[in-house]
Amino acid sequence: MKITDLKVAIIGDAPIVRVTTDEGIDGVGAGETFKPYLKPMIEFYRDLIIGKDPTDVERVMLGIRRMGSFKPWGTAVSAIEMALWDIAGKAAGVPSYKLLGGKIRDKVQVYNGNVRFKREGNEPEHFAADMQVMKDHPYNFSIIKQPVSFHGGMHRYMDDFHFGTAVQNRRYPNRGTITPKGFKYLLACIEAMQDVLGDDVGLALDCGPGMTVPDALKLAKELEGSNIMWLEDMVIGNYHPYELADQYTQITPYTSTPIHTGEQLYLRQNCVDLIERNAVNVLGPDVADVGGIAEMKFIAEYADLHGILFAPHGTFNGLIGLAAQTHMAAVLPENFIAFELPTADPAWWLDIMEGGEQFAVTDSHIDVPDTPGLGLTFIPEEGGKYLREEDAGFFDD
Residue 268 has pLDDT above 90, yes or no: yes
| CATH topology for the 99-373 domain | TIM Barrel (3.20.20)
Query: What is the rounded CA–CA span in Å between residue 51 and residue 22?
Result: 9
Q: Render pLDDT for 139-160 as a digit per residue (tens, 0 to 9).
A: 999 999 999 999 999 999 999 9
Q: For the chain, where do the domains classified as CATH 3.30.390.10 start and end?
A: 3-93+378-391
CA distances (Å), 314 to each of 81, 110, 267, 288, 380, in order?
A: 16, 10, 16, 7, 26
Residue 247 has pLDDT above 90, yes or no: yes
Angle 210-214-217 from CA coordinates, rounded to 5°: 95
Q: What is the mean pLDDT of the chain?
A: 97
Query: What's the mean pLDDT in 297-320?
Result: 97
Q: For the chain, where do the domains classified as CATH 3.20.20.120 start and end?
A: 99-373
Task: Please state which of the four CATH numbers 3.30.390.10, 3.40.640.10, 3.10.129.10, 3.30.830.10 is assigned to the domain occupying 3-93+378-391.
Answer: 3.30.390.10
What value does the CA radius of gyration of the chain take, rounded to a whole number of Å? Answer: 21
Q: Band of the pLDDT at 244, cuts 50, 70, 90?
A: very high
Q: Render pLDDT for 309-334 as a digit per residue (tens, 0 to 9).
A: 999 999 999 999 999 999 999 999 99
pTM for this one?
0.96
- HSE-CB at 19 with a 13 A cutoff on CA atoms is 35
